[in-house]
Amino acid sequence: MSTDDVQMGGGEFPESPEDLLPDDSILTLEEYLAMHAAVGHRTRYEILYRLVHSGEMSPKELEEAISIDDSTLHYHLNKLVDVGLVEKRQRTDKGQDGLYTYYQATVFGEVTLSEGVDELIRGEQEFKKIYDSSTSS
């Protein structure tokens, strides 16, 4: 860390957010921000949530799980694929003709979900427990 780094709360952090990225980072700050922005939409958050917690799913399974029409689902899936949170895979299934398409969360999708919105929700639950126990005393 350079002498230009700022101290706050006992910890140091870089002056510029870009300085948080390792020198050999495979993603830019803009790409990380796009990932977080993508899960800021309720439908995309729910799709990612299902894929992280249920594993790979076909479009039909996702449509049924979140009660969404095909075109809307594919619009949001494409957004998640474009930013790298979800990947589209195809394979042949035994006994079936053609390719079977399914989606799964990437490592970036898993981390963005579990360390992002899910963590905020868990934090609120913990805060509520602390608050409730302090007010009942």
Contact 61, 103 (CB under 8 A): no
Phi, psi of 49 (to 5 degrees): -55, -50
Quick: pLDDT tens for 69-124.
Answer: 999 999 999 999 999 999 999 877 766 777 889 999 999 999 888 888 767 777 77
Q: Percent of the chain scored above 90 by pLDDT?
A: 45
pLDDT of residue 5: 43
Q: Does residue 39 register a pLDDT over 70?
A: yes
Please check whether residue 122 lies inside any domain of the structure. yes
Show the domain range for 49.
23-135
Higher pLDDT, residue 10 or 13: 13
Q: What is the CATH number of the domain that holds 125?
A: 1.10.10.10
Please check whether residue 129 lies inside any domain of the structure. yes
